[in-house]
Structure 1
Amino acid sequence: MNFWASWCGPCRSEMPDMEKLHNEKDVQILAVNLTQTENNRENVENFVDEYGLTFKILMDEETTVANKYQIQPIPTTFLIDSNGLIHRKAMGALNYEMMVQELDKMD
Structure 2
Amino acid sequence: MMKQLALALCIVASIHLSAQEVEVVKFADLQKKMLYTEAPLTVFNFWATWCGPCIKELPHFDSLEDNKNIKVYLVSIDFQSELERVKKFVAKKSLKSNVLFLDEKDPDDYMGKVSQEWSGAIPATLFVTDLGKTYFHEKAFTKEELEKTVEKYLN
Same fold (TM over 0.5): yes
- Superposed counterparts of 1:1-107, under 5 Å: 1-24=44-67, 26-36=69-79, 40-62=82-104, 63=107, 64-66=109-111, 68-69=113-114, 70=118, 72-86=120-134, 88-106=135-153, 107=155
Whether the 8 Å CA contact 1:8–1:74 is kept in 2: the answer is: yes
Q: Report the RMSD for the aligned CA atoms in angstroms.
A: 2.0
* Structure 1 outlier segments of 4+, above 3 Å: 63-67
Compute the TM-score of the two structures, normalised by the length of structure 1: 0.83
Structure 1 pair 15–6 and aligned structure 2 pair: CA distance change class (3 A): same
How far has the Cα of 1:71 moved from its partner? 5.3
**Aligned-partner Cα distance in 1 for 2:48–2:143:** 19
Whether the 8 Å CA contact 2:127–2:136 is kept in 1: the answer is: yes
Between 1 and 2, higher relative CO (CA 8 Å, sep ≥ 6) is seen in 1
Count of aligned residue pairs for this structure pair: 105
Identity %: 28
| Structure 1: segments with no counterpart, 5+ residues | none
Compute the TM-score of the two structures, normalised by the length of structure 2: 0.60
| Structure 2: segments with no counterpart, 5+ residues | 1-43
Max Rg structure? 2
